[in-house]
Amino acid sequence: MLGGMMATLCSRGPDSAGFAIYGEGRPDMVKLSLHGASEGHVAAVAGRLAEALGKELDFAVRHTQAIVSVAETDLGHAEAWLTAHAPEIAVVGKGRRMEIFKEVGNPVAVGKAFGIERMAGSHGVAHTRMATESAVTTDGAHPFSTGRDQCLVHNGSLSNHNSLRRELRREGVTITTENDSEVAAGYLTWRMRQGQSLGGALQSGLTDLDGFFTFVVGTESGFGVLRDPIACKPAVMAETESYVAFGSEYRSLVDLPGIDNARVWEPKPATVYFWERGQ
Amino acid sequence: MTGVIDLKSATIRDLNSRLQDAASAPEGSVWHVANVRGHHSVAVGIDRPLTVEVEGNTGYFTAGMNHGAEITVKGNAGQGVAETMSAGKVHVTGDASMAAGASGRGGLLVIDGNAAARCGISMKGIDIVVKGDVGHLSAFMAQTGRLVVLGDAGESLGDSIYEARLYVRGAVTSLGADCIEKPLRDEHRAELAGLLAAAGVTDVPVDAFRRYGSARDLYHFKVDNAGAY
C-alpha cells in the first residue's frame, strides 16, 4: 500500500526512494538497517558480524540491505565492529521495530527491489526524492534516522544547513553528508539528547531551522507532521476510524480503503501534529 | 445536453479539450466529471457558460482561467483553485488548499469550508466568499475585488494591499503592512449583502462583519521617504 501511495507521486521526486517500516519487534533485541553495495556484500558483512559476535544472528537480506537483529547487550560490540571492520557499510537506521530501506533509482523500481509490498507493520513512511541541496546518492535519500525507532523525511530546502551542520558537529552529532535534511534529522537528535521530547524538538526547530519544510517524523508508536510557518510545501491528511494517512498530495491517498468517507484536511503551518497508535 | 466524462478512461487533456471546444461542449451544456482522484488541472480554460460538476477531491489548479463556466467541486480542491478566473462561478463544497482564487480578474469563487494560506493572493477583480477560515497572508497584494470571510483570518491579512475590499466576520490574527480596519458604510453593507446572497448565505447579518482595506501609505510615493531609496 505504501509503495502504491508513493508510486502516484513519482513525478514529484524521481531520483531516489526510501521507506521506514515499523514491523514486529522484541524488547531485548535491536534491529540494525545496514546498507551496502550489493546483496552479496551486505550478506557477507552480516555473516562476518555474526562470527565476530560469536553467535547465530537473525538477519534478512533485501536488495542492497540487511536487517540484522542483535541482542541489546551485543549492540555496542556490533556497532564498534561495523565501524572498525566494515566502514563502507552505512547503518541507516536502528530500533526495536523500525527498518529503513533506501536506494537511488526510480521509486517504483526501488520499492519492488526491496519487496516493500510484501512487508507488514503498524505504520510506515515512504519518500521520493528530487535532489536540490546535495548529490543523488543513497546517503542523500530519505528517511534519515534521528534516533532509535525514529526517522525523518523532508520536502523543502533549508538555507542555514551549513552553519547548523558545523554547530551540530561541534556538539558531537554525527552528520555524514552535505544533505540539508540530514542536518534537520541531526538537529532533532541533538535536541532530544538535551532532554526535549520529539514534539519539543520539532517546536524548537520552528525557530532554529531556516528554510522551507514539511517534515514527517516516524516514531515507534506513531508519526508526526510539521510544516514551516509560511507553508511553502504541500501536505494533506486523511483520517478514518481505523487509520491516519499523510501525503504531499491527495493523489497518493486515493487508493486507501474508505477514502471516500475519510476526513481529508490540510495541516496548519507552524503546528506540531502527532498521532499515536492506540494500545 | 448533458454528458459524463470519466477520468478513469479519459485523460486530463481529453477532458479539457472537450470542455474547451464549443462544438463538443456548447453553451448551456451540463457535464459531470467522475473519478477525479486528485488529478491536477481539472476543467481549466473554459471560455463559455457551461455547467461542470466535478465529483470528488481535486489536485492543483482546478477550474483555472475560467471564463464563464459554473464549476462545482464536490469535495476539496487543491492549490490554486480558480486561479486567474475572469468570469463565471467556481464553488468548492469542501476546503480549498493554498492560493485559492490567485490573481483572479473576475467571477465569483465560493468555498463552503476553509481556505488555506494566501487565499486571494494578488486578486485583481475576483470576488471570493469563504464560509470557513482563511490562512495566513490572504489577500496579499490584492488589487481589486472583494474577499468575504465568514470565519477567522490568519496572520498578515491584506499585506501590501491595494484597492481590494476585505470583509471578515471572525477574528483576524494580524493585519499585514498597510492594511487597516475601515468603517462599514451603507455602500459596503449593500455590496456585502449582494455577495452573501450570491454565495447562498442568507442567515448572516452584514453588521456581523468588519471591513479592512488599504491605508494607502505604501503604494503612493511619499517625498518624506525619498531618503530611503
| Domains located in chain A, CATH noted | 130-276 (3.60.20.10)
Amino acid at A101: F
CA atoms of A232 and A219, how far apart (whole Å)? 25
Point out the residue among A249, A266, A268 whose CB comes nearest to the CB of B59.
A249
Residue A126 in this model has a pLDDT that exceeds 80: yes
State pLDDT tens for residues B80-126: 999 999 999 999 999 999 999 999 999 999 999 999 999 999 999 99
Average pLDDT, chain A: 93
Cβ atoms of B49 and B27 within 8 Å: the answer is yes
Nearest to A92 by CA among A192, A12, A21, A188: A21
> Between chains, do A266 and B94 touch, taking CB under 8 Å as contact?
no
B80 touches chain A (CB under 8 A): no
User: Do B78 and A265 count as a contact with CB atoms less than 8 A apart?
Assistant: no
Dihedral sign for Cα atoms in the order A69, A75, A81, A84: positive
B66–chain A Cβ distance below 8 A for any pair: no
* pLDDT interval class at A8 (50, 70, 90): confident
Q: Between chains, do B59 and A251 touch, taking CB under 8 Å as contact?
A: yes
Residue with cell string 565501524: A83
* Cβ <8 Å between A268 and B135: yes
- Going by pLDDT thresholds of 50, 70 and 90, the confidence category of residue B175 is very high
Nearest to A149 by CA among A62, A30, A65: A30
* Residues 6 or more apart whose Cβ sits within 8 Å of residue B144: B123, B124, B125, B162, B163, B164
What is d(CA A244, CA A256) in angstroms, rounded to the nearest whole number? Answer: 10
Domains in chain B: ranges and CATH: 38-200+209-214 (2.160.20.60)
* pLDDT average, residue stretch B12-18: 97
How many angstroms away from the CA of A278 is the closest CA of chain B?
A: 29
pLDDT band at A9 (very low <50, low <70, confident <90, very high): confident
Quick: pLDDT tens for A238-266. Answer: 999 999 999 999 999 999 999 999 999 99
pLDDT at residue A11 in the model: 79
Question: Quick one: pLDDT at residue A13?
Answer: 83
A112 phi and psi, to 5 degrees? -65, -45
Per-residue model confidence as pLDDT tens digits over A23-63: 999 999 999 999 999 999 999 999 999 999 998 888 999 99
Q: What is the mean pLDDT of residues A145-172?
A: 94
pLDDT at A166: 97
Contacts of B113 (CB under 8 A, 6+ apart): B76, B92, B93, B94, B95, B96, B131, B132
pLDDT in tens, B138-159: 999 999 999 999 999 999 999 9
All three cell numbers of A148 = 532509535
Q: What is the pLDDT of residue B219?
A: 79
* Mean pLDDT on A222-229: 95
What integer pLDDT is reported at residue A55 of this predicted model? 87
Q: Which chain B residues touch A230 with a CB distance below 8 Å?
A: 117, 136
Judge whether B107 and B86 are in contact, CB under 8 Å: yes
- Contacts A252 to B, Cβ<8 Å: 38
What single-letter amino acid sits at A169?
Answer: R
Q: B94 at the A interface (CB within 8 A)?
A: yes
* The three cell numbers locating residue B66: 475560467
In 3-state terms chain A splits into helix, strand, coil percentages (rounded to 5) of 35, 30, 35
Could you tell me if B76 lies within 8 Å of chain A, comparing CB atoms?
Answer: yes
Residue B228 — pLDDT band, cuts 50, 70, 90? Answer: low
Distance CA A105, CA A102 (A): 10
What per-residue confidence (pLDDT) applies to A279? 53
d(CA A238, CA A260): 10
